Structure 1
């Protein structure tokens, strides 16, 4: 496995890279956004561990780029702030850890993120009526039209499609679309579902709520736009 470590403090980057080596992982270190971009152009990475403060640069600039390349992201930062954590997760980060950190926990979090991603990539394209999802590229298409959706919303849709005709529980969606329950909230789930529902209704699909239980996806051809 190959890890991209984006960390500008050499005193921290060195022990982290040694930690990864001790786990049998290859590690490339980037000290800036530009050096990270150069490495991403030349090499393929399985996961990125990302610091938010890279000198005067904002590390979050890399989150959408990494997400577009389907590279899982574990943010590792001194910023112990819920609003910043939520912002990074909404942008596409898969997990968020605060420094100082426990080395074993960091390794475990990375392994957990990778297991979830590997489980997704094992699945084939999921099809329901005119909608199809490619779990590997995290692409959603309806009648050949590609929808640009945040990763969390694609993962929610994957579970809804896998359980068509049944109610998908909140806990199922949390455990699949979020790295851990600490990162999940019912309000965040409701916001994602609300945004999905507004978009999908334009194509004849609807997400039905079962308060206190979960959601189910339905297709009503009569509701398609003419």
Structure 2
């Protein structure tokens, strides 16, 4: 079942538990993919028959070992391409997602390896998401969502979600970037260096810090 559609399901399931532990439900999967619940149920059954996901009726969906390996390979392609576009072609971090969605299905393994080597084997993409290595292994520090971080928490910005390009642009304009050392004043305000930065609406649910 090698197809972009299958890859999109596996990526979405993988993404869901990267930064939190709750498994994805079929209804959440349908919402994320913009598909009818009946279509998702049918595909999940096919993926389960292929040994790529584990699922029981009305329960959440999780990747099997085989599904996780395949999802990590897809994620690796996507995030290496995003990094390549930013570093080599001057794309902004809010512009790369859709380009990578197209290119991840088009480039060869040989080209992907060349990109990885040229970039110096990066471990993280421009948004701070971990890039799985060729074996599917990821390295991620302990983290906390900004919305859950207490006032006075000091940490480094690990990740800014790429789900909303407009929010990415607003976060960048505010002066917050991946790798910045910050102190939490509240969920809407960070201290970056000597500056107090007011965050755009929704940022507290889209920024992760070192725990």
**Greater strand share, 1 or 2?**
1
Scaled by the length of structure 2, what TM-score is found?
Answer: 0.28
Which of structures 1 and 2 has the larger relative contact order (alpha carbons within 8 angstroms, sep 6+)?
2
TM-score when scaled to structure 1? 0.26
